[in-house]
Amino acid sequence: MAKVLIIDDQPEMRDIMRRSLELAGHEVAEASDGSGGIAQYRSAPADVVVTDILMPDSDGIELISSLRRVDPKVRILAISGGCSAGRVDFLRMAMTLGAKATLTKPFNTAQLQDRVAELLDS
């Protein structure tokens, strides 16, 4: 099917997403932070990048901007459980910076598979 890169600092979350997307027939690569995600994307570009927004070191907002500089056409799905902190709406900011879709944690595997399929069809 497609290559999907998952970038999330939580190993359990990456594992759940990886297994779900592999069951849907996708080839999945993983990274635990933004800098690792950029390196992974540069060495093996993915059809879709699924990234958490709130991560230590290089967060998802910085990552989205960096990925857009590497590949302006990259399809990005931004995910977050902390959708807003104070007055900052991180998922809306992610869309403004170039994410093509968002998901709020917690989400189920069918929602993840559907959102990735929608991005692949776009």
* Per-residue pLDDT at 60 exceeds 90: no
Domains defined along the chain, listed by start = 3-121 (3.40.50.2300)
Q: pLDDT at position 84, please?
A: 47
CA dist list (Å): 66 to 54, 79, 86: 16, 17, 25
Give the whole-angstrom CA distance, residue 108 versus residue 122: 22
Confidence at residue 91, expressed as pLDDT on a 0 to 100 scale: 86
User: Taking the model in full, what pTM does it have?
Assistant: 0.93
Cα 63 to Cα 79: distance, rounded to the nearest angstrom = 13
Tell which wins on pLDDT, 20 or 56.
20
Q: Which amino acid appears at position 62 of this protein? A: E
